[in-house]
Amino acid sequence: METSRPVKTKIHSAQKIIYMILLAVTVSLLIVIITGTIIGLVRQSSEPLINIRAASQSDLERITSQSDDVRVFSGLGRLRIPLVNSSTLILSIAFPYLADDVTFTEELASKIIDLRTQAADYFAGLPEESLIQIDEDAAKREILRRYNAILRLGRIEILYFNDMIIID
């Protein structure tokens, strides 16, 4: 007569393997937690874990001189802005940025709607007498000021108006 002992041994072996794997994962997680705790206790409390700051003018000059990867952001597309005199301003805005600055590039992509709104609000708010001859330099300065007020991870230094057409 044969006994069913070998079947129980196989089941018992599989349970033992699963138990060993779970034990190894648990020990690994405990090591990671203990290591992180020790690093947290040793680290200076005033020292940030991640340092994110906006680039200064000197940083931009230094990076630009070291990097040739300056690109032009034209992701705002063509704006169609209704003006107070019932005409429409067609405007395309572009500006250079450093492609190496990933965080700033991501911020620009996430704030496209805000940037479009700032430009549209500026031109839509111009009085009718200013629309006869729009001061392009003053418009660029004001829009640049508005853009930089909402950006936190970098600055725009110069704006270009690619298209600026008023349609009656």
Among 51-60, 84-93, 95-104, the minimum mean pLDDT is found in 51-60
Residue 18 has pLDDT above 80, yes or no: yes
- Pair 89, 136 in one domain: yes
- Pair 97, 155 in one domain: yes
Q: What residues pair up with 98 in beta bridges, in sequence order?
A: 70
- pLDDT of res. 163: 83
pLDDT tens, residue by residue, 38-67 = 877 776 555 544 444 444 555 556 545 555
From residue 160, how far is each of 36, 64, 91, 109, 137 by CA, in Å? 48, 18, 10, 18, 10
- pLDDT of res. 121: 94
- Pair 6, 73 in one domain: no
CB 163 within 8 A of CB 91: yes
- Pair 22, 76 in one domain: no
The span from the CA of 41 to the CA of 36, in Å, is 9
We report the CATH number of the domain holding residue 99 as 3.30.479.30
- pLDDT of res. 53: 45
- pLDDT of res. 52: 41
Rounded to the nearest integer, the mean pLDDT of the chain is: 81
State what percent of residues in the chain have pLDDT above 90.
40
Full residue range of the structural domain in which residue 31 is found = 1-50
- Pair 161, 85 in one domain: yes
Higher pLDDT, residue 32 or 117: 117
From residue 90, how far is each of 35, 81, 152, 165 by CA, in Å? 58, 6, 28, 5
- Pair 110, 161 in one domain: yes
- Pair 28, 74 in one domain: no
Domain count, the chain: 2
Of 50, 67, 89, the one marking the end of a domain is: 50
Checking DSSP bridges between strand 88-98 and strand 70-73, what pairing results, if any?
antiparallel
- Pair 20, 74 in one domain: no
Residue 1 has pLDDT above 80, yes or no: no
